[in-house]
Amino acid sequence: QITLKESGPTLVKPTQTLTLTCTFSGFSLSTSGVGVGWIRQPPGKALEWLALIYWDDDKRYSPSLKSRLTITKDTSKNQVVLTMTNMDPVDTATYYCAHRLGPTQFDYWGQGTLVTVSS
């Protein structure tokens, strides 16, 4: 059974750096083809893809946010970490991590974590 859970601060101040951790079980990020992605959703708005990391450390970023994002993995801990610099109130959203196998869909998602950016 594949499960993912996001964790991190619920409140960050403008200009600060956000660090989110996705802790998963039921699969390994050392298995060929496996990937974990991050997607966010501002309150009442659409989903927005942020980043994706694969088992071989191949990384993909949203072009509009690439300069602010870093995605890394710790295979031994079954974790993927996303950092986003220079946070702004418009970055207030629920942040989700999700499992992906190769060029297929995000088939398992976490419950999400709400991050509010406010001074």
Partner 1 sequence: QPVLTQPPSASASLGASVTLTCTLSSGYSNYKVDWYQQRPGKGPRFVMRVGTGGIVGSKGDGIPDRFSVLGSGLNRYLTIKNIQEEDESDYHCGADHGSGSNFVVVFGGGTKLTVL
Contact residues toward partner 1 (CB under 8 A) are: 37, 39, 46-49, 52, 60, 62-63, 96, 98, 103-112
In the complex, the smallest distance separating the C-beta of residue 10 from partner 1, rounded to whole angstroms, is 16
Identity of the residue, 16 or 79, whose beta carbon is nearer to partner 1 in the bound complex: 79
Residues 6+ apart with CB under 8 A from 89: 14, 117, 118
Tokens of 41: 């959703």
Identity of the residue, 55 or 108, whose beta carbon is nearer to partner 1 in the bound complex: 108
In the complex, the smallest distance separating the C-beta of residue 108 from partner 1, rounded to whole angstroms, is 7
Tokens of 85: 């610099």
Identity of the residue, 19 or 65, whose beta carbon is nearer to partner 1 in the bound complex: 65
As a three-state string, the secondary structure of 71-118 is EEEEHHHCEEEEEECCCCHHHCEEEEEEEEECCCCEEEECCCEEEEEC
In the complex, the smallest distance separating the C-beta of residue 97 from partner 1, rounded to whole angstroms, is 9
